A and B are shown apart, each in its own frame.
Chain A
Amino acid sequence: MPTTSPDAARAETLSIAVEADVVRVRQAVRTRAAALGFSIVDQTKVVTAASELARNTLKHGGGGHCRVEPVTAGGRVGLRLVFEDQGPGIPDVRLALTDGYTTGGGMGLGLSGSRRLMTDFDLWSEVGKGTRVTVAKWK
């Protein structure tokens, strides 16, 4: 990766405890996606997904953290984001991934929408333990 500086390749973890942290996550993800050479459209998709998932971590998970991690596989460059909380968990994961299903009074597009915006999407959740959403976008 000649275009990537060592700093841009290092993983970082950001805490999500207050609303301003959601903005900080967006900015960190934008910086990374731009440094990795993602197109403007892909940068926008990744940052928008990050915004949705960070808000979920804050509002449904009661806060947590986000790991921003550049990854490579088979010569391809990607950006992986892991959102984790120790909140109440999601009782019905399939229902939570349905468009329009909401418990937070929103549009119910956070999870399902982020899934469409990213290449890889993995959701782990256990009631009473927490939720972990791992997403990645490949160039």
Chain B
Amino acid sequence: MDRIPILRMGPFLLVTIQVDMYDQLALTLQEDLTDLIARSGARGVLIDISALDLVDSFMGRMIANIAQMSRIMDARTVLTGMRPAVAITLVELGMQLPGVRTALNVDRGMELLRAELAAEAVATTGDDEWEPAPQAEPGHADDQP
């Protein structure tokens, strides 16, 4: 069976769609990606569609699904390289791609993923300083009869 290759680049997964998509191929990619996120602990997924000359509602839905699934699995998705004609057609078709981050090209997409990862690392460090908050618990316990 045909498969779209998924490359690992540090904490990210990189997918370049270069073939004419058909539905089963899209579904296989969805499964392979979520599987690989789980196994590798990847924090980000970059999907490059600069080679695609159309994105119809099925492919759009697949992309939106991947973004949502990876979000739940603690990875961000960025879609890169959408051709102008494809963007115009998608909007006219009525596809919104909710929750899908986009970037003009792979370089900017990687930048976006790195920046998000760095921002999260800072936020996590910040969280550690909040540590006293849960310690309110024992106090509450004392209040109870």
* A interface with B by C-beta (< 8 Å): 19-20, 22-23, 26-27, 30, 40-41, 43-45, 47-48, 51-52, 55, 99, 106-107, 109-110, 112-114, 116-117
Given known contacts A22-B22, A23-B20, A23-B22, A51 and B54 CB-to-CB distance under 8 angstroms = yes
Q: Check: B85 CB closer than 8 A to any chain A CB.
A: yes
Q: Is the CB of B89 within 8 A of A106?
A: no
Q: Which 6 A-B pairs have the closest CB atoms?
A: A113-B93, A44-B85, A51-B56, A109-B57, A41-B85, A107-B57
Chain A binding site: helix, strand, loop or mixed by DSSP?
helix
How many A-B pairs with Cβ below 8 Å?
Answer: 71
Contact with A along B55-74 (1 / 0, CB 8 A): 11110110000000000000
* Chain B minimum-CB-distance residue to A20: B22
Interface residues on B, range: 20 to 34
* A113–B83 CA distance with the chains assembled, in angstroms: 19
* A99–B61 CA distance with the chains assembled, in angstroms: 15
A-B contacts, 7 of them at CB < 8 A, read A22-B23, A44-B53, A48-B89, A51-B58, A107-B60, A109-B95, A116-B94
